[in-house]
Amino acid sequence: MHKQHNALGLAATPNKAPTSLEIANGRPVQPVTLIRPHAAHRAARFFVEKFKGRSLYAVKANPSPDLIRQLWDSGITHFDVASIAEVRLVAQIAPRATLCFMHPVKAEEAIREAYFDHGVRTFSLDSIEELDKIMRATDQATDLTLCVRLRVPSDYAKLSLASKFGAEPGETKALLFAARQAADALGICFHVGSQTMSPSAYVNALGRVRNAIVEAAVTVDVIDVGGGFPSIYPGMEPAPLEAYFDAIHDAFEALPISYSAELWAEPGRALCAEYASLLVRVEKRRGDQLYINDGAYGALFDAAHVGWRFPVELVREEISGTKDMAFSFYGPTCDDIDHMAGPFMLPADVQAGDYIEIGMLGAYGSAMRTGFNGFTAGETVVMDDEPMASAYMDALPERVRSSNVVTL
């Protein structure tokens, strides 16, 4: 079922954030981004307190300066950066943060600037060529943490990351040995894919790590299990995050590594998905198709291009008395591919002029936005209500835990 807003008790009060209905009543023409700093804080504290290792925020998921500050203030001190632009961004916002350049293929100029200008000492690689590049760019530095990325399957992930990066089993022995000779600290990393729906993905990947360590007979100082930690979306309700943490830690403890070896992870989506939602206006209805003012070239890239379903709510003064039905969305641009198939479940009487809140867009929504066809985001408003779904169930009131997630 869907939570719907009504007009009772919604008068604005001093020092209180507006509700989505109050914002909708202002009739904004452009989509409004609704951010919830308290949700990002809660997610960060969850990882800091419950994951038995070091959590690095994957900046690519949402590079918002305000979010980065919030995560830093909430105890996230290490950041997974994948470009020199991300290095510069985090270095400016959180100058005391530890930056780890975890893209396995980097420009030599980017490595040099990261090392000499921004103090980056941790680099990922998946080939001898990249190792040689890192050593040249850092003038044969002796204070590097080098993380060799292994290729692992994405069998349990909604979005695969198994094809582009990672050393194959036949390549790992020589690469680990060479990296061990060059590194002050040697790491092994991998990525099981985005929105991974089972802890088994990490256990299986750590089995490959074990094989690689035994074959190469090297001392390993860091095990980095990458990202992939899931959030909750319609039709995607994974196991509790604690189950992932426990499975990872148990498999980590069983590895043939030094007692002082560190366990790292790179959560992105899990730290920021609940941070933001989007308030959009329906410009036209044609049957079960709604034309809205944001889409594939805006915050809804994933909904259009990978068929991601996000939770939705009708924001209207009067509660609808009609049953929900399945809708698809068209975005505001001239392109046919600006289409979000959904299904998105909304009351059957939704019409032009209505406003819809689309939840769980803190991850990759704003990061993927363009200005194509002249359509851009409107204002950003800080909210103090709860996100439409949450992976941090114990911290949420019962009404939020039991609503807004629809499984077809």
Per-residue pLDDT tens digits for 87-124: 999 999 999 999 999 999 999 999 999 999 999 999 99
210 or 408, greater pLDDT: 210
Q: Could you give the CA distance from residue 63 to residue 86 in angstroms, rounded to a whole number?
A: 8
Confidence of residue 20 (pLDDT cuts 50, 70, 90): very high
| Mean pLDDT, residues 32-57 taken together | 97
Q: Does position 1 have pLDDT exceeding 50, yes or no? A: no
Which tokens hold the place of 171? 């390549």
pLDDT at 134: 98
DSSP secondary-structure letter at 18?
P
Q: Which residues contact 15 (CB under 8 A, 6 or more apart)?
A: none
SS3 content of the chain, % helix, strand, coil (to 5): 30, 20, 45
CB 390 within 8 A of CB 238: no
pLDDT value for 117: 98
Question: Which tokens is 19 given?
Answer: 């509700």
* Residue 397 confidence (pLDDT): 45
Question: How many other C-beta atoms are found inside a 10 Å radius of the C-beta of residue 142?
Answer: 9
Interatomic CA distance for residues 44 and 38, integer angstroms:
10
CATH topology of domain 38-272: TIM Barrel (3.20.20)
Q: How far apart are CA 232 and CA 310, in angstroms?
A: 9
Instruction: Give the distance from CA 206 to its chain's centroid.
Output: 22
Q: Flag the least confident range among 72-81, 183-192, 241-250, 316-325.
A: 316-325
* Residue limits of CATH 2.40.37.10 in the chain: 20-36+275-401
Q: Residue type for 238, please?
A: P
The yes-or-no verdict on residue 326 having pLDDT over 90 is yes
Report pLDDT digits (tens) over 295-306: 999 999 999 998
The confidence band for 22, taking pLDDT boundaries of 50, 70 and 90, is very high
CATH number of 20-36+275-401: 2.40.37.10
Q: What are phi and psi of 107, to 5 degrees?
A: -70, 140
Burial 80-112 (b: 16+ CB within 10 A, else e): bbbbbebbbbbbebbeebebbbbbbebeeebbb
In the chain, which segments carry CATH 3.20.20.10?
Answer: 38-272
How many other C-beta atoms lie within 10 A of the C-beta of residue 280? 30
